[in-house]
């Protein structure tokens, strides 16, 4: 089974990706969070730092680019190629209004002629191209027009997150639309959205036998060894908590060394707890709260260490 780690901007950096690949052993591809092509134009290779860090690592990395025109996107793709990548992904899914309203990410979907131009130019760079896309920006009807455009090109795969951009990351995934569009696509189809357990994946596999690859994002932050579980291993709650601790500590050490000042460090670490907390709830809720509400780095570390120690003592 092809299992992919999803790109999650602000979370799945090189350290995160390496940990997940090493701890699971069966991740087929990992995708970088998007490189903003407009920022690349202004700031150059500085914006490729996270991707460059992964070169020569254990990661089967597919770098991703986000942009609104072929010139900017191709400049980034060319740089990916120069770094030795054979394949790259184009983001047509980002739902953030400041991005989408500028005809980038999911905001590109209502403009099939733009997508046509971008893919035409991208494939001339000489690097394999895949696309990650939503059902639309404001309506799931939009993809109906876009798919014939995608089908004109020899894409490595098209990964669909079956929501529209306006939904952001909430609300129901539209399985009927996913099935309709998945079957229309000529390229191999990937599925991305709300896979948090083996049971969910098994159900989805039964429902959509045409799907070629399965991508997991937030579920892999909550459970960094989720891929192993999917291939039949049965890690205990204690082992999942240990994986969260190991990943947490690697990230904490990295951000302590690279970010300037305690508030930057706290602002970077705390959002992870929206997902890390899952394995500790409901019984260790108080210690999770204490960690997230800590006002100083010392208090944060003490609370997190207490939490990890308690989980190691009490979880089976």
**Which among 4-12, 53-61, 137-145, 246-254 is the span making contact with ligand FMN, rule CB under 6 A?**
4-12
Round to whole Å and give the CA distance between 305 and 300. Answer: 8
Directed axis angle between helix 175-184 and helix 142-150, to 10°? 30
Contacts of residue 60, defined as CB under 8 A and 6 or more positions apart, other chains included, come to: 21, 27, 28, 29, 30
Residue closest to ligand FMN (Cβ) = 217
Q: Two tokens at 149?
A: 């455009």
Of the two residues 63 and 112, which places its CB atom closer to ligand FMN in the complex? 63
Site for ligand FMN in 123-162 (CB under 6 A): 132, 161
CA distance from start to end of the chain: 29
Binding letters toward ligand FMN, positions 75-104, x by CB under 6 A: ----------------x-x-----------
**Which among 22-30, 77-85, 113-121, 192-200 is the span making contact with ligand FMN, rule CB under 6 A?**
192-200
Among 106, 192, 213, 229, indicate the residue that binds ligand FMN (CB under 6 A).
192
Among 6, 62, 150, 288, indicate the residue that binds ligand FMN (CB under 6 A).
6
Of the two residues 9 and 301, which places its CB atom closer to ligand FMN in the complex? 9
Of the two residues 7 and 136, which places its CB atom closer to ligand FMN in the complex? 7
Contacts of residue 138, defined as CB under 8 A and 6 or more positions apart, other chains included, come to: 110, 164, 165, 166
Q: Two tokens at 194?
A: 């709300």
* Residue 61 makes contact with ligand FMN by CB under 6 A: no
SS3 track for 291-303: HHHCCCHHHHHHH
Residue 245 C-beta: closest distance to ligand FMN, Å: 22
Of the two residues 38 and 238, which places its CB atom closer to ligand FMN in the complex? 38
* Residue 165 makes contact with ligand FMN by CB under 6 A: no
User: What region, left, alpha or beta, does residue 60 occupy, with left being phi > 0 and alpha being psi -120 to 50 degrees?
Assistant: beta
Residue 193 C-beta: closest distance to ligand FMN, Å: 4
Among 9, 57, 138, 256, indicate the residue that binds ligand FMN (CB under 6 A).
9
**Rounded to 5 degrees, what angle do the CA atoms 145, 146, 151 make?**
115
**Which among 5-13, 117-125, 238-246, 296-304 is the span making contact with ligand FMN, rule CB under 6 A?**
5-13
Round to whole Å and give the CA distance between 35 and 9. Answer: 10
| Exposure string over 126-149, b if 16+ CB within 10 A, otherwise e | ebbbbbbbbbbbeebebbbebbeb
Among 15, 20, 33, 36, indicate the residue that binds ligand FMN (CB under 6 A).
33
Residue 120 C-beta: closest distance to ligand FMN, Å: 21
Among 108, 219, 243, 244, indicate the residue that binds ligand FMN (CB under 6 A).
219
**Rounded to 5 degrees, what angle do the CA atoms 247, 250, 252 make?**
105
Round to whole Å and give the CA distance between 229 and 236. Answer: 10
Alpha helix positions (H), 124-174: 142-150
* Residue 63 makes contact with ligand FMN by CB under 6 A: no
**Chain residues in the site for ligand FMN (CB under 6 A):** 6-10, 33-34, 64, 91, 93, 132, 161, 169, 192-195, 216-219
């Amino acid at each position: 089974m092809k299992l992919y780690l999803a790109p999650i901007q602000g979370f799945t950096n090189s350290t995160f990706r390496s940990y997940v690949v090493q701890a699971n052993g069966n991740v087929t591809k990992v995708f970088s969070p998007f490189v903003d092509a407009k920022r690349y134009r202004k700031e150059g290779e500085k914006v490729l730092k996270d991707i460059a860090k992964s070169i020569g690592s254990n990661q089967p990395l597919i770098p991703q680019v986000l942009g609104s025109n072929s010139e900017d996107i191709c400049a980034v793709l060319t740089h990916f190629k120069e770094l030795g990548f054979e394949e790259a992904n184009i983001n047509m899914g980002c739902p953030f209004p400041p991005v989408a309203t500028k005809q980038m990410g999911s905001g590109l979907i209502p403009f099939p002629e733009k997508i046509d131009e971008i893919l035409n130019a991208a494939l001339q760079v000489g690097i394999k191209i895949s696309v990650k896309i939503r059902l639309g920006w404001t309506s799931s009807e939009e993809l109906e027009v876009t798919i014939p455009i995608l089908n004109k090109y020899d894409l490595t795969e098209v990964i669909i997150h079956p929501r529209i951009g306006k939904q952001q990351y909430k609300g129901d995934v539209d399985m009927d639309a996913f099935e309709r569009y998945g079957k229309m696509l000529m390229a191999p189809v990937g599925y991305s959205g709300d896979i948090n357990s083996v049971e969910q994946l098994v159900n989805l596999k039964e429902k959509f036998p045409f799907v070629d690859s399965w991508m997991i994002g937030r579920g892999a932050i909550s459970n960094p060894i989720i891929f192993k579980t999917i291939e039949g291993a049965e890690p205990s709650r204690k082992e999942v908590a240990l994986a969260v601790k190991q990943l947490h500590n690697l990230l904490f050490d990295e951000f302590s060394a690279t970010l300037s000042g305690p508030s930057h460090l706290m602002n970077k670490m705390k959002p992870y707890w929206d997902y890390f907390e899952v394995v500790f709830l409901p019984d260790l809720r108080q210690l999770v709260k204490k960690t997230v509400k800590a006002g100083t780095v010392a208090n944060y570390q003490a609370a997190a260490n207490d939490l990890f120690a308690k989980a190691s003592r009490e979880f089976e």
